């Protein structure tokens, strides 16, 4: 398939690539220090990974919510008795603090929630989200759940990403660590107009697609036979040997990812957009507006998954990026010790 590229996109793509090369030149890559960084990141990944009991708590909670739905609506074919998970748990990219995203799949019934009850507390409707949700907290486990209705797109996208993580473990690890990094810096919340988890995951995928050699293929190549899960699963298997040419470590990818983001700070307002579907930068306006950050939804390219990011909040995001890069630079120059970098 031939995709024409607008001259403005070509100009922005060339600028983004040029700026990234300039940013990479600013940091001295000390191989010995990189090995230490790589070990630190892998240790952090292992330490922060959920325990088996945390998987079981969430699975049990899904079973309980399904039982509650059956109690309320019955179990006939016309009733909403199937509650399915999506989001970070479905992708296997969740932490202990992560919300549990659940979709109640309806047919003909309408759904109402009590404000409080024996099973949940803190019921809070969020109508400003793309798919309206109700936030509740499970009283037994303390897990916060985001309940939505008929969010089949979310379920499908989550499973597609889960399949794609099997291509290369570095995708899962770097996504997990960047989510943890963003949460630690208070910039991982669409409610607070910063980066939601999906934006972070797709930016990580985009970074791996644009390495040389590539680590992940463009998602368009994975979805060429359709977005149904059977086709995607079959397609992903064809890319399992895709990564043998690139041997970059987690430490190298962590550094280059932050530098990539830093390099395009001034280009977002010009319409720069990360497209995991195409596997390269493009330019994009959303309706009549240019977003503060643009990350294209690979299943619906009319949607910007980073649309919630605010103008002042993007400045805060970049303060965090530059602060981390500064720490990494000092570490590479052996001006701060491993323990300080770890903190």
101 close to 152: Cβ distance less than 8 angstroms? no
Would you state the pLDDT for residue 320? 97
Exposed, middle or buried by CB within 10 Å (0-12, 13-18, 19+), for 180?
A: middle
Would you state the pLDDT for residue 1? 43
pLDDT of 329 above 90: yes
pLDDT of 179 above 70: yes
**Separation CA 151–CA 198 (nearest Å):** 15
Can you tell me the mean pLDDT for 258-286?
96
Q: Please give the CATH architecture assigned to the domain spanning 7-47+169-342.
A: Orthogonal Bundle (1.10)
Would you state the pLDDT for residue 308? 95
Nearest to 227 by CA among 160, 155, 154: 160
pTM value is: 0.89
pLDDT of 176 above 90: yes
182 close to 195: Cβ distance less than 8 angstroms? yes
pLDDT of 73 above 70: yes
Would you state the pLDDT for residue 112? 46
Can you tell me the mean pLDDT for 263-271?
96
Residue with tokens 């390269």: 280
pLDDT of 133 above 70: yes
**Separation CA 169–CA 69 (nearest Å):** 36
Q: Which residue has the higher pLDDT, 240 or 114?
A: 240
Q: Where in the chain is the domain with CATH 1.10.1410.10?
A: 7-47+169-342
99 close to 145: Cβ distance less than 8 angstroms? yes
pLDDT of 224 above 50: yes
Beta strand pairing call for 133-138 and 280-283 = unpaired
pLDDT of 131 above 80: no
Provide CB contacts within 8 A for 148, sequence distance 6+.
101, 102, 103, 104, 131, 132, 133, 134, 154
DSSP string, 89-122: HHHT---TT--EEEEEE-SS------SS-SSEEE
Would you state the pLDDT for residue 330? 93
pLDDT for 278-309, tens place per residue?
999 999 999 889 999 999 999 999 999 999 99
**Separation CA 218–CA 200 (nearest Å):** 17
Would you state the pLDDT for residue 51? 95
Would you state the pLDDT for residue 121? 53
Region 52-155: CATH code: 3.30.460.10
DSSP conformational letter for 234: H
Would you state the pLDDT for residue 81? 67
Q: Where in the chain is the domain with CATH 3.30.460.10?
A: 52-155
Q: What pLDDT band is residue 27 in, cutting at 50, 70 and 90?
A: confident
Would you state the pLDDT for residue 34? 93
pLDDT for 135-149, tens place per residue?
889 888 899 999 998
Nearest to 284 by CA among 57, 12, 84: 12
**Separation CA 245–CA 228 (nearest Å):** 29
What is the residue-averaged pLDDT of the chain?
88
24 close to 16: Cβ distance less than 8 angstroms? no
């Amino acid at each position: 398939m031939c995709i024409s590229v607008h001259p403005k996109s070509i100009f922005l793509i060339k600028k983004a690539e040029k700026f990234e090369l300039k940013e990479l030149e600013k940091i001295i890559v000390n191989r010995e220090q990189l090995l230490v960084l790589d070990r630190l990141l892998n240790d952090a990944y292992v330490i922060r990974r959920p325990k088996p009991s945390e998987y079981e708590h969430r699975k049990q909670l899904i079973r309980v919510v399904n039982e509650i739905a059956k109690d309320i609506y019955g179990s006939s074919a016309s009733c909403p008795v199937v509650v399915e998970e999506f989001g970070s748990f479905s992708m296997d990219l969740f932490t202990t603090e992560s919300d549990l995203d659940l979709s109640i799949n309806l047919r003909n019934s309408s759904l109402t929630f009590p404000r409080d009850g024996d099973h949940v507390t803190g019921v809070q409707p969020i109508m400003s989200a793309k798919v309206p949700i109700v936030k509740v907290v499970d009283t037994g486990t303390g897990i916060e759940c985001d309940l939505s209705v008929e969010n089949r797109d979310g379920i499908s996208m989550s499973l597609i990403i889960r399949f794609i993580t099997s291509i290369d473990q570095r995708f899962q690890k770097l996504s997990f660590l960047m989510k943890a990094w963003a949460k630690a810096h208070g910039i991982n919340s669409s409610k607070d107009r910063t980066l939601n988890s999906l934006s972070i995951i797709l930016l990580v995928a985009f970074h791996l697609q644009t390495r040389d050699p590539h680590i992940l293929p463009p998602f368009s190549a994975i979805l060429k036979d359709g977005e149904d899960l059977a086709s995607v699963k079959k397609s992903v298997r064809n890319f399992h040997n895709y990564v043998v040419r690139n041997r970059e470590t987690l430490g190298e990818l962590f550094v280059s990812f932050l530098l990539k983001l830093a390099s395009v700070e001034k280009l977002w307002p010009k319409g720069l957009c990360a497209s995991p579907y195409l596997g390269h930068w493009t330019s994009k306006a959303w309706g009549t507006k240019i977003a503060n950050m643009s990350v294209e939804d690979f299943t619906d390219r009319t949607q910007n998954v980073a649309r919630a990011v605010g103008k002042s909040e993007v400045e805060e995001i970049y303060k965090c990026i530059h602060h981390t890069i500064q720490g990494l630079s000092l570490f590479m120059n052996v001006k701060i010790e491993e323990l300080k970098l770890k903190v």
